[in-house]
C-alpha cells in the first residue's frame, strides 16, 4: 500500500485526519470531498457545520478503510457513512414507509447540487441506469402529489 506524506505544497490534514494516509484513501477524499460537502450544505446550512460533518464522515471512513476496500462496493458503504453522519448532525427523523430518503438524496444531488446521473452514480456507488430510473420515479411521485 502506498503512503502519501504531507509536503509543503499540500494543505495540512484536517482535524482528525492522520498525517500519513494511503494514497488510495487520499484520492478517494480528493474525489468525493467537494460533492460530499455540497450535499452536507443542503442539510447543514453553516459551512463550518457541513465541513465538520464531512470531516467526521471521512474520519470514520478512514477507520473502516481496509474493510471498505474488501467489500463489494466501497463507495456505496462510504456514502452510507456520510448519510449517517449528516443524519446524526441534523437529528433527522426516520422515514415513513411511503417516504424514500435514498431517492430524495438522488433528487438533492441532481436538482440542488447539480450533478448529472453518471456523477451521482459515482458518488453513491451504483450504476447510471439505476440513478436515472430512480430520478424519474422520484419526479413522477412528486408530480403526482402536486
pLDDT tens, residue by residue, 44-97: 999 999 999 999 999 999 999 999 999 999 999 999 999 999 999 998 655 554
Element (H or E) spanning 22, and its range? strand 21-22
The answer to whether residues 87 and 24 belong to one domain is yes
13 within domain boundaries: no
137 within domain boundaries: yes
44 within domain boundaries: yes
Tally the domains of the chain.
2
pLDDT band at 12 (very low <50, low <70, confident <90, very high): very low
74: helix, strand or coil = helix
Residue 127 has pLDDT above 50, yes or no: yes
Structural domain span for residue 111: 96-146
Give the pLDDT score at 10.
39
The answer to whether residues 78 and 36 belong to one domain is yes
Give the pLDDT score at 138.
86
Give the pLDDT score at 102.
84
How far is residue 134's CA from residue 104's CA, in Å, rounded to a whole number? 10
The answer to whether residues 27 and 87 belong to one domain is yes
Residue 5 has pLDDT above 50, yes or no: no
Amino acid at each position: 500500500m502506498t503512503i502519501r506524506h504531507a509536503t509543503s505544497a499540500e494543505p495540512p490534514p484536517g482535524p482528525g485526519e492522520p498525517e500519513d494516509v494511503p494514497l488510495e484513501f487520499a484520492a478517494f477524499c480528493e474525489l468525493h470531498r467537494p460533492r460530499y460537502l455540497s450535499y452536507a450544505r443542503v442539510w447543514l446550512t453553516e459551512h463550518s457545520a457541513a465541513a465538520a460533518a464531512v470531516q467526521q464522515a471521512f474520519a470514520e471512513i478512514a477507520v473502516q478503510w481496509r474493510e471498505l476496500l474488501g467489500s463489494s462496493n466501497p463507495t456505496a458503504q462510504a456514502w452510507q457513512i456520510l448519510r449517517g453522519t449528516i443524519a446524526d448532525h441534523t437529528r433527522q427523523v426516520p422515514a415513513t414507509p411511503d417516504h424514500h430518503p435514498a431517492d430524495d438524496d438522488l433528487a438533492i444531488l441532481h436538482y440542488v447540487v447539480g450533478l448529472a446521473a453518471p456523477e451521482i452514480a459515482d458518488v453513491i456507488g451504483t450504476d447510471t441506469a439505476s440513478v436515472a430510473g430512480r430520478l424519474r420515479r422520484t419526479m413522477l411521485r412528486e408530480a403526482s402529489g402536486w
